[in-house]
């Protein structure tokens, strides 16, 4: 290896490597871990940004030899010892440091900006941030971060309000005080999976199918296995004969077990064919080229229409088994099974599937009398809305590092569901759970895709059978073709209403495309109904949903689950109905939306494959969100652009979600008083950048009256923590937060009891107070937690104070909101610009208000992307032809609305921890219908298909 | 992968000629070194020691060195505004800091940020060939397979005009870029290439194709409409 001399962060450094290596890779290898890679040298996402001879550059697009004599700055230069610089502090304070995979790069960019322009304009900030893709927090609070940084630099403190505060009677809950892992994340500490991989790790490479549907006639791995440096080649021929599925859902899952690690039938372009464990990527590539696979291509289906057609090719056609509730005619059904290479499909319980018709799951139900409801209507709308296939595009792709230690399989994972990972790896590897240790590292973006066990299954197995330390990382292309995506969905909505605006009946017919495997196949489409119909105070409502297998890239969980798609359909339909009836849409919304106490009968059939809980509407800020939003956007007033080609319109949608799955989710935590009186909380919850650990820490602080720096949260580690179903279905704050609350309250009780003994007082006279002591209301005596704990663990003590909290509930704390859009539409060119977007949400008590606001901005930006730009395009052979950021079309800062506001509606909830409800998923639901309505308001056409782009608008306008 | 470090434009051109099948020029690297870029598996002729990175006035002419970056163009008051706007079509500052004018033109990308604007500006390219320097109208160069190395671009300093881009997002590949300056009309259309002439009828000279940036019908419509927009 040659050496290249350059200056890095002011020091002369010799970088070693091949002259044509990417500078990014060399910097990372040399220890500059802040320089990350999100795009495999696409020059797009900016996680690899450095300052190179004074200018912002992508280090992936610089070769090592070009660094000779260069002056390089990385984000490591921003720290003074362990002290963050003023920009980093401002970023943490403003709430934008969330999953934070490229937060160090963003900090470097903003520091550079302020060095060039001490008081930058908005345009200069936008230009600086044009180089970086932010998926988690949106861009809006970056402007605030710059403002705060300037204030801190100039006055030594933050002057501006960062976020509103809630609950004045509480010390820290509802106050913007920053994220407990913010400093580590923004400074570029080695906190991600890739940072834990030792130099001697072997790599796992996956050979993938070029066909959308094919049997593997034969696979010859002999030449590959002979290569020096190849430890194993895993294929359908030698993998465990275990059927499972990759969705991280509660066990038993409402998803079919329809795959093995490798199958004899490949079902999408990019499906696994072989896994190669090799000493280096180069050897793995060589080995892959030596594997001889003979395919027998079969006909494929790509859309629900193709999948439901008579005599359609079948994606799965093997024997079906049930672990419970098998139908009586199963034996006969299985006589129709096809080629043995199809493999099995195992249902945990009936999902009303029929794989011989490509139906992976289905459900239908209703309340009231639909026929009567429609008969009473003065007007009926019957429309179909289509959504597209969308990728999560987390900045950190799916990665996994696994090794065997002391006879146990240890997996460093970037996951939302450590306990589901452990269970599924246990099934696949055939080893008991006590022999598996999952360590959830910081998650560099999940958005639902890391709710699925997409890489840990194979990486874990590869490490277990070879005994090698094994590292796997998806390429960006693999993120698109071999990962999970948002289910494309077709929602037909029939809605009837009276002239006075009363809706008399709603019927939703949903057809969803789950791709080749059934991850979340029932529950995602169910959400399109279960999180939309309960918004309506309508007596007659029904739904009929079917989910089809196809040969597209796989679908799975995605922030919002099926709700954004159902909301798009149902809100657009209501707007169309209002137009047909000649009444104001807002009046119709106000007349028909639910309010506190309204009994939600519709939920009975809308459980997760089981009977749902019928509950009344709880705390609900819907009215206030709608009224306030209408005021902000000046609803009813038509804006003029001054240019006859540009028309301006407005729209809004009411939205809801859930806060976990009552009756299904389960969370636990352990709170421990350490020997010096500090607290460690072991939470089963999985913080994926959303601030869940901070929520747990704040709960401890609030209950025990200790400052934040006296509390540490260890989470998502299956050895040291206790069970939690995971961070999905908006359950984090509500379930994991409540588990922390229960554990800490119990710990407080133990502290009081112990203090009573040590102080010889009645427990009833004792309470706790800041900065962490027990005091007697009767005698005035006090004892610090440190003193208390020290005595408790002495040779004569009663032991460490430890409390375990478990939380389950049948209660359902539903967040509500309303999202408003104002768009400008060019009727000549079809250009669409979101001018204003206002997101108003009732999150109960926002425990971390600044982080909550950023999650709303991030979710809305994603949804603007989904609505207007993003779309995976497949060619006629099922190959994704835009599996990269540039062609796929993620929104950057240039696509952000000109005026963008998130508003937290103050509602207290009786079941959430300190009144909190969920915040983030719901924020994905409003953009599509709000924008769709605004487009119609602007130019009179309804766009009923995602993405609503300029081409589709021109078509609708009859221009092309 | 071999790296050549020519010290003069002529040396670079001779290296390119001698290694036509195996080597490519490397300027800013934002296209060549990108995922799937043309440098993959090729030897590199590094142009970064050749100078050619100045913006200079010569009478009423502006001479843009081929190694000027898009950011140099975007922020220079010497450059006509519509050409600065075209440079900013490359929305990423980090990419603009590296991407060169010569590279953006030399690759003949049909979504080139600058091709339409500079063609409408009637720019002249000063090129190096194995036989020495020559000059070529930019439109002719872009529509040819000429392998000459662009050394500089010459335009009238007071040139006025407009440029308009259509794309899915600001960072996506452009579907259509249209420009007009002093009666010269130019179009870059993804999947179709460059057209230019003295009337908007140039839209009829291209064959439009369906691709990731949009359907043929859509792109043709935009191409035609671009020249009718109010300014």
Domain boundaries, chain A: 2-78, 86-189, 209-298+317-357, 398-473, 494-659+812-956, 667-807
Using DSSP, state whether A496 is helix, strand or coil.
strand
Q: Which CATH architecture has domain A86-189?
A: Orthogonal Bundle (1.10)
Between CA A161 and CA A168 the distance in angstroms is: 16
Which of B216, B33, B121 lies closest to A24 in space, CA to CA?
B33
Angle (nearest 5°) at CA A898 between B113 and A690:
100
β-pair partners for A214: A266, A297
Say whether residue B40 is in contact with chain A using an 8 A CB cutoff: no
**Of B3, B29, B48, Cβ closest to residue A61:** B29
For A41, half-sphere exposure in the C-beta direction (CA atoms, 13 angstrom radius) is 20
**Domain A209-298+317-357: top CATH class:** alpha beta
- Residues of B with CB below 8 A from A827's CB? none
pLDDT at A688: 95
CB contact under 8 A, B169 and A58: no
Note whether B198 and B185 are within 8 A (CB).
Answer: yes
Q: How far is CA A867 from CA A853, A860, B136, in A?
A: 21, 10, 45
Residue range A167-177: average pLDDT? 97
Residue B73: pLDDT band (50, 70, 90) is very high
The yes-or-no verdict on residue A138 having pLDDT over 80 is yes
**Domain A667-807: top CATH class:** alpha beta
Between CA A456 and CA A862 the distance in angstroms is: 26
Eight-class DSSP state of A735: I
β-pair partners for A766: A776
CA A634 to chain B, closest CA, distance in angstroms equals 28
Which of B82, B89, B87 lies closest to B101 in space, CA to CA?
B87
Residue range A96-105: average pLDDT? 98
- Compute the mean pLDDT over every residue in chain A, rounded to the nearest whole number: 97
Residue range A238-267: average pLDDT? 96
CB contact under 8 A, B30 and A61: yes
Give percent of chain A above pLDDT 90.
96
Per-residue model confidence as pLDDT tens digits over A926-957 = 999 999 999 999 999 999 999 999 999 999 99
Per-residue model confidence as pLDDT tens digits over A327-337 = 999 999 999 99
Residue range A391-396: average pLDDT? 98
β-pair partners for A365: A543
Which of A606, A660, A560, A587 lies closest to A911 in space, CA to CA?
A660
Per-residue model confidence as pLDDT tens digits over A2-56 = 999 999 999 999 999 999 999 999 999 999 999 999 999 999 999 999 999 999 9
Between CA A588 and CA A228 the distance in angstroms is: 71
Using DSSP, state whether A491 is helix, strand or coil.
strand
DSSP notation for A528-551: HHHTTGGGB--S-EEEEEEEEE-S
**Phi, then psi, of B72 in degrees rounded to 5:** -55, -45
Write the CATH number of the domain with boundaries A2-78. 3.10.20.30
Per-residue model confidence as pLDDT tens digits over A879-938 = 999 999 999 999 999 999 999 999 999 999 999 999 999 998 999 999 999 999 999 999
> Which one is the CATH code of A494-659+812-956: 1.10.3680.10, 3.40.630.40, 3.30.365.10, 3.30.300.90?
3.30.365.10
Write the CATH number of the domain with boundaries B3-226. 3.30.465.10
- Give chain B's largest Cα–Cα span: 51
**Of B35, B171, B217, Cβ closest to residue A892:** B171
Nearest chain B residue to A38 by CA: give it. Answer: B35
Per-residue model confidence as pLDDT tens digits over A574-614 = 999 999 999 999 999 999 999 999 998 888 877 766 777 78
Per-residue model confidence as pLDDT tens digits over A529-554 = 999 999 999 999 999 999 999 999 99
Using DSSP, state whether A592 is helix, strand or coil.
helix
Residue B41: pLDDT band (50, 70, 90) is confident
User: Any residues with CB less than 8 A from the CB of A807 and at least 6 apart, and which?
Assistant: A666, A667, A668, A735, A738, A739, A741, A742
Dihedral sign for Cα A219, A225, A230, A232, please.
positive
pLDDT at A177: 96
Domains A86-189 and A494-659+812-956 share a fold: no
**Of B92, B172, B215, Cβ closest to residue A130:** B92
pLDDT at A609: 67
pLDDT at A162: 97
Say whether residue B30 is in contact with chain A using an 8 A CB cutoff: yes
Say whether residue B228 is in contact with chain A using an 8 A CB cutoff: yes
Residue that is written with structure tokens 């900016």 in the block: A46
The yes-or-no verdict on residue A569 having pLDDT over 80 is yes
The yes-or-no verdict on residue B231 having pLDDT over 80 is no
- This model of the complex carries an ipTM of 0.98
- Residues of B with CB below 8 A from A882's CB? 212
Q: How many CB atoms lie within 10 A of CB A298?
A: 18
CA B35 to chain A, closest CA, distance in angstroms equals 5
CB contact under 8 A, A890 and B92: no
Domain locations along chain B: 3-226
Say whether residue A884 is in contact with chain B using an 8 A CB cutoff: yes
CB contact under 8 A, B92 and A43: yes
- Residues of B with CB below 8 A from A894's CB? 91, 169-171
CA B178 to chain A, closest CA, distance in angstroms equals 13
CB contact under 8 A, A131 and B94: yes
Helix axis angle, A523-530 to A563-581, nearest 10°: 30
Give percent of chain A above pLDDT 70.
100
């Amino acid at each position: 290896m040659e050496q290249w001399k350059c200056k890095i962060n002011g020091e002369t450094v010799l970088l070693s490597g091949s002259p044509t290596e990417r500078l990014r890779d060399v910097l990372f290898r040399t220890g500059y871990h802040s320089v990350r890679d999100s795009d495999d040298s696409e020059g797009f996402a900016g996680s690899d940004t450095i300052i190179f001879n004074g200018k912002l550059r992508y280090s992936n697009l610089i070769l090592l030899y070009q660094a000779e004599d260069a002056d390089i700055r990385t984000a490591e230069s921003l720290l003074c010892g362990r002290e963050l610089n003023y920009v980093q502090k401002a970023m943490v304070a403003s709430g934008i440091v969330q999953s934070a995979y490229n937060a160090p790069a963003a900090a470097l960019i903003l520091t550079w900006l302020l060095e060039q322009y001490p008081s930058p304009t908005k345009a200069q900030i936008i230009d600086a941030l044009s180089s970086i893709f932010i998926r988690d927090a949106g861009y809006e609070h970056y402007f605030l971060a710059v403002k705060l940084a300037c204030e801190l630099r100039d006055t030594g403190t933050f002057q501006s309000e960062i976020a509103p505060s809630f609950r004045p009677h509480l010390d820290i809950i509802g106050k913007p005080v920053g994220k407990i892992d913010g400093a580590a994340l923004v400074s570029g500490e080695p906190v991600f999976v890739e940072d834990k991989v030792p130099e001697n790790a072997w790599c796992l490479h996956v050979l993938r199918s070029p066909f959308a549907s094919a049997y593997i006639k034969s696979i010859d791995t002999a030449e590959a296995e002979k290569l020096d440096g190849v430890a194993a080649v895993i294929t359908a021929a030698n993998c465990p004969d275990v059927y499972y599925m990759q969705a991280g859902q509660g066990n038993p899952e409402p998803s079919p077990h329809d795959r093995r690690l490798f199958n004899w039938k490949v079902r999408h372009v990019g499906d696994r064919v072989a896994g190669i464990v090799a000493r280096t990527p180069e050897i793995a590539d060589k080995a892959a080229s030596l594997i001889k696979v003979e395919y027998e291509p079969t006909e494929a289906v790509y859309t629900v229409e193709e999948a439901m057609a008579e005599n359609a090719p079948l994606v799965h056609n093997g024997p079906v088994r049930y672990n419970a509730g098998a139908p009586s005619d199963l034996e006969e059904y299985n006589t129709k099974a096809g080629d043995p290479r199809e493999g099995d499909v195992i249902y945990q319980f009936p999902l009303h599937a029929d794989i011989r018709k490509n139906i992976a799951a289905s459900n239908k139900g209703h309340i009231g009398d639909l026929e009567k409801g429609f008969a009473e209507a003065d007007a009926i709308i019957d429309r179909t809305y289509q959504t597209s296939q969308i990728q999560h595009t987390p900045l950190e792709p799916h990665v996994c590092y696994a090794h065997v230690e002391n006879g146990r399989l240890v997996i460093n994972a970037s996951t939302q569901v450590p306990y589901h990972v452990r269970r599924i790896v246990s099934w696949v590897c055939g080893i008991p759970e006590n022999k598996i240790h999952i360590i959830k590292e910081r998650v560099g973006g999940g958005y639902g895709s890391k709710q699925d066990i997409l890489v840990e299954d194979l990486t874990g197995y590869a490490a277990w059978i070879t005994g090698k330390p094994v590292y796997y990382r998806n390429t960006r292309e693999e993120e698109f073709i071999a990962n999970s995506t948002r289910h494309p969905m077709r929602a037909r909505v029939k809605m009837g209403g009276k002239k006075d605006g009363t809706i008399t009946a709603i019927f939703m017919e949903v057809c969803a495309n789950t791709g080749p495997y059934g991850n979340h196949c029932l529950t995602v489409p169910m959400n399109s109904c279960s999180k939309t119909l309960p918004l309506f105070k309508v007596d007659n409502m029904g739904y009929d949903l079917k989910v089809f297998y196809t040969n597209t890239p796989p679908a799975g969980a995605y922030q919002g689950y099926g709700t954004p798609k159902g909301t798009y359909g149902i809100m657009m339909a209501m707007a169309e109905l209002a137009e047909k009836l000649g009444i104001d849409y807002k009046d119709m919304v106000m007349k028909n939306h639910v309010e506190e106490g309204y009994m939600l009968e519709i939920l009975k059939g809308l459980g997760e494959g089981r009977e749902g809980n019928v509950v009344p509407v709880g705390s609900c800020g819907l009215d206030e969100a709608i009224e306030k939003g209408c005021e902000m956007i000046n609803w009813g007033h038509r804006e003029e652009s001054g240019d006859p080609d540009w028309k301006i319109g407005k729209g809004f949608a009411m939205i809801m979600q859930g806060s976990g799955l009552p009756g299904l989710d389960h969370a636990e935590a352990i709170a421990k008083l350490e020997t010096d009186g500090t607290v460690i909380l072991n939470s089963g919850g999985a913080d994926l950048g959303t601030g869940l650990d901070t929520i747990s820490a704040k709960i401890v602080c609030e209950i025990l009256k200790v400052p934040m720096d006296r509390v540490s949260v260890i989470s998502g580690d299956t050895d040291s923590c206790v069970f939690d179903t995971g961070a999905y279905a908006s359950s984090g704050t509500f379930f994991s937060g409540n588990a922390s609350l229960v554990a800490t309250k119990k710990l407080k009780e133990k502290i009081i009891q112990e203090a009573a003994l040590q102080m010889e007082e009645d427990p009833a006279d004792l309470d706790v107070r800041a900065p962490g002591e027990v005091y007697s209301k009767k005698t005035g005596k006090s004892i610090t937690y440190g003193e208390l704990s020290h005595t408790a663990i002495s040779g004569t003590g009663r032991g460490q104070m430890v409390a375990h909290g478990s939380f389950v509930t049948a209660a359902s704390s539903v967040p509500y909101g309303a999202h408003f859009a104002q768009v400008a539409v060019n009727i000549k060119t079809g250009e669409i610009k979101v001018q204003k977007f206002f997101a108003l949400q009732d999150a109960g008590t926002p425990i971390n208000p600044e982080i909550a606001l950023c999650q709303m901005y991030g979710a809305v930006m994603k949804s603007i992307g989904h609505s207007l730009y993003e779309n995976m395009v497949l060619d006629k052979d099922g190959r994704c032809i835009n599996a990269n950021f540039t062609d796929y079309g993620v929104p950057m800062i240039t696509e952000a609305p000109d005026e963008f506001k998130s508003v937290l509606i103050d509602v207290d909830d009786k079941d959430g921890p300190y009144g909190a409800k969920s915040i983030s998923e719901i924020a994905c639901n409003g953009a599509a219908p709000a924008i769709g309505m605004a487009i119609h308001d602007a130019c009179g056409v309804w766009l009923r298909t995602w993405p609503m782009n300029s081409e589709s608008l021109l078509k609708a306008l009859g221009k092309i | 992968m071999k790296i050549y470090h020519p010290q003069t434009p002529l040396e670079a051109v001779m290296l390119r000629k001698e290694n036509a099948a195996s080597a490519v020029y490397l300027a800013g690297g934002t296209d060549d070194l990108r995922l799937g870029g043309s440098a993959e598996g090729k030897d590199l002729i590094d142009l970064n020691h050749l100078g050619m990175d100045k913006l200079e006035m010569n009478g009423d002419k502006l001479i843009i060195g081929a190694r000027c970056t898009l950011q140099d163009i975007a922020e220079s008051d010497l450059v006509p505004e519509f050409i600065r706007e075209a440079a900013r079509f490359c929305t990423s500052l980090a990419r603009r800091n590296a991407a060169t004018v010569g590279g953006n033109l030399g690759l003949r990308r049909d979504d080139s940020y600058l091709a339409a604007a500079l063609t409408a500006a009637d720019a002249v390219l000063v090129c190096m060939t194995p036989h020495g320097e020559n000059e070529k109208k930019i439109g002719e160069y872009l529509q040819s397979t000429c392998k000459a190395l662009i050394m500089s671009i010459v335009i009238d300093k007071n040139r006025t005009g407009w440029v308009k881009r259509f794309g899915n997002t600001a960072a996506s590949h452009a579907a259509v870029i249209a420009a007009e300056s002093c009666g010269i009309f130019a179009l870059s259309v993804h999947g179709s290439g460059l057209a230019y002439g003295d009337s908007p009828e140039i839209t009829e000279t291209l064959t439009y194709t369906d691709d990731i940036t949009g359907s043929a019908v859509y792109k043709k419509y935009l191409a035609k409409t671009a020249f009718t927009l109010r300014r």
